[in-house]
Amino acid sequence: MEPTASNTGDETSFTDAERAAMKQRAAELREQGRSGKGAAKREREAQACVDAIAALIGADKQIAERLHAIVTEEAPHLDPKAWYGFPSYARDGKVVVFYQPASKFDTRYGTVGFNEDALLDDGSFWPTAFAVLEVNDEIEQRLRELVRKAAG
């Protein structure tokens, strides 16, 4: 395993992909600061989400497009945005669900992840990320259930 800041405490050991993600997030935050408020801001953030999906290829793009449709249908109150360059969906400005493409960190699979504001709590132990290689009917149904529950 290549050392990273998260497992060595050494800030200089971030991978190139991690540094790129941090730079992308900093750019997103700068853009959010310039993007104003209200409907215009939501519109720009939604466009950033669509642009993040459009930049993907292969399975990553297909999965992100399907997740986007699922969130739009099952949780239309969540606002689409880009978060670390990932297509993401937020409630009250806090990301609830996102797709981390495999291509972002050159991994074997992409993940659909849920942050702490997702309403998925189930006792003392529950998953917050799911590896996704494709979206078939069974997986789509499970994603729909998760998104509905997470979104509240």
The tally of domains found in the chain comes to 1
Tokens of 113: 């992840």
Question: Where in the sequence is the domain holding 21, given as residue range(s)?
Answer: 5-151
Predicted confidence at residue 50, as pLDDT, reads 98
Average pLDDT across each block of 10 residues of the chain; the chain has 152 residues. List them in order.
47 79 74 71 95 98 98 98 97 97 96 97 96 98 98 96
Kindly report the pTM of this predicted structure. 0.79
Predicted confidence at residue 12, as pLDDT, reads 66
CATH of the domain at 91: 3.90.1150.200
Angle of CA points 45, 51, 55, to nearest 5°: 150
Number of H helices, E strands in the chain: 6, 5
Please choose, from the candidates 45, 122, 33, 31, the residue with its C-alpha nearest in 3D space to the C-alpha of residue 78: 45
- The rounded distance, in Å, linking the Cα atoms of 15 and 104 is 12
Predicted confidence at residue 2, as pLDDT, reads 43
State the burial class of residue 65 (Cβ atoms within 10 Å of its Cβ: 0-12, 13-18, 19+). middle
Tokens of 98: 């996102």
